[in-house]
Amino acid sequence: MKNKAIILFGFIFIIFLNLSYTVFSAEPPICNEKDIKPCGSDIGECKMGYRICINNRWSDCINETKPSPEICDGKDNDCDGEIDELTCVCTNGETRKCGTNLGICEFGTSFCVNGNWGPCVGGIEPHPFEICGNKLDDNCNGKVDENCNDIASLCSNGVWDENEEGVDCGGVCPFSCENYIMYYYLIVGMGLIVLLFGGLLALQETFKL
């Protein structure tokens, strides 16, 4: 009987300790159930949200628009009260003309990307050199067929000039490069034949002596 009383007392004591721990260790409520309060920021592109009291604790912020990295778009993306504080030379999405419209050239378009102007696209760029005889300003410098007066000397100087497709052929020259090569090999071949024939005659004269 005495042992049963001790066991019962111990059991009751353990329950008392558990209840005491629960009561004294529990955090006090910090809000009333289903209360709502605002949260977040409404500066720049940010929008405030709200918190709901659930189980006497505030929830995470709901439906807020948070800051994002700043970009060059005319907006305060990071919600610090400043707009486009980066080094922006243009606003994303802007366009501008680029290049030239002199001669055969036409303007292109440059797009603003990450606050800087991108490459010129969509235009017609100058030809590397002036093409003689077509009455066009190919290199877009405001002059037509400049430096094209002495075609004869240009096409016989043994140099691959910028108006030619090969050495003294094609482009402004009267000979196409294919015909010129054939003509070149024909001349070389005839020269070799003459040399060979001359050598044979010389040998014949030598043996006669």
**Which stretches does DSSP call E strand in 9-107?**
36-39, 49-54, 57-58, 95-98
Residue 12 has a CB neighbour count (10 Å cut-off) of 10
Residues 6+ apart with CB under 8 A from 140: 100, 102, 103, 104, 105, 125, 126, 127
Task: Render pLDDT for 88-141 as a digit per residue (tens, 0 to 9).
Answer: 888 888 999 999 999 999 999 999 988 889 999 999 999 887 777 678 898 899
In angstroms, the Cα distances linking 174 to 89, 138, 159, 163, 181 are: 51, 20, 15, 12, 13
Residue 87, CB half-sphere, CA atoms under 13 Å: how many?
Answer: 0
Q: Are 70 and 110 in contact (CB under 8 A)?
A: no
Least confident of 38-42, 79-83, 125-129, 180-184: 180-184
Between CA 73 and CA 78, with CA 74 as vertex, the angle to 5 degrees is 80
pLDDT value at 12 more than 60: yes
Task: Render pLDDT for 148-191 as a digit per residue (tens, 0 to 9).
Answer: 766 666 676 676 776 778 877 887 777 778 765 565 566 666 76
Give long-range contacts, CB 8 A cutoff, 24+ apart: 68-71. Answer: 71/114, 71/115
Q: pLDDT: is 4 or 196 the higher one? A: 196
pLDDT value at 24 more than 70: no
pTM exceeds 0.75 for this model = no
For the chain, give every domain's residue range. 31-82, 151-201
Q: Mean pLDDT over residues 77-95, rounded? A: 87
